[in-house]
Structure formats: structure tokens, C-alpha cells
Amino acid sequence: MRHRGIRAFAVPLTILIAFALATTLFVVPVRTWISQRQVLSARQQEYAAYEDIVENMQDQVGYLQSPAGLRDAIRTQLGYLYPSERRVPMMDTPALSTTLPERWPYTIVSTMMFVKTLQAAQANAKGEISLDPLLP
């Protein structure tokens, strides 16, 4: 009788130990291996991005060591010009209002602008492209 009690207790314990051993030897390493593959893939992508950045920087350094690259850097970063050149500042055209007062001489200008706008709308409706700089 005594052996049956030990056997009834030992069999489930042996199965539990075998299951724990199998889990420790197979499941945990597989999980670790899968997570390491994901981390390795992410690191390889980062490394490839860094390689691209380093390659671009090497290209820039090589270009700046050439005479043409040095000239371009001096012109763009320091603003130097050749002795025969002259800097001409250009400003963007400001957005102006077309609303004019309703009195002379502004009524004449407003009427001309209205006629030009109608002509441009008719040309657009026909599919024509205006090369006249005075058309809106």
C-alpha cells in the first residue's frame, strides 16, 4: 500500500518535472532566439541607415576637397563673389489688395482691372494661356 501512495505522488511530480525541463530547454530558448532575431533585424536597419549617412558625408567631404566644391562652399556659406560679380537683392512681390476707393481716379483703374480679369477668365475658359505679364 505504501508503494501505491508514493507512486501516485511520484508520477505527477515526474511529469511536472519533465514538463518544466522541456519548457526550460526548448520553449524559453526559442522565444529568446525569436526576440534576438527581431532586435538583430532592427539593429541591421539602423546600421544600414548609418552607413548611408556616412557615405553621404564622405561624398560631401570629397566634394569639398575639390576646387569646385571649395568654390561653391565659399560662395554659398560665406557669401563671397567673384570680382566681376555684383549682388542684387531680390524681394518677393508682396500680396497687395485690389480693393480701391470708389472715387476718381481709382474708378478708372478698377474698371481696367475688371476688364482685364474678364478677358483672362474668357481666355482660361477657352483653354488659352496668356503670356502677357499685365494679365492677372
Query: Tell me: the pLDDT tens digits for 36-81?
Result: 999 999 999 999 999 999 999 999 999 999 999 998 888 888 888 8
Rounded percentage of the chain residues whose pLDDT exceeds 70: 90
Tell me, yes or no, if the pTM score tops 0.85: no
Start-end of H helices in 1-136: 2-22, 28-64, 67-73, 106-126
Residues in the chain: 136
The three-class DSSP label of residue 76 is: helix
Judged against a pLDDT cut of 80, whether residue 93 lies above it is answered with no
More confident of the two residues 130 and 27: 27
How many whole angstroms separate alpha carbon 34 and alpha carbon 40?
10
Given a cut of 70, is residue 114 above it in pLDDT?
A: yes
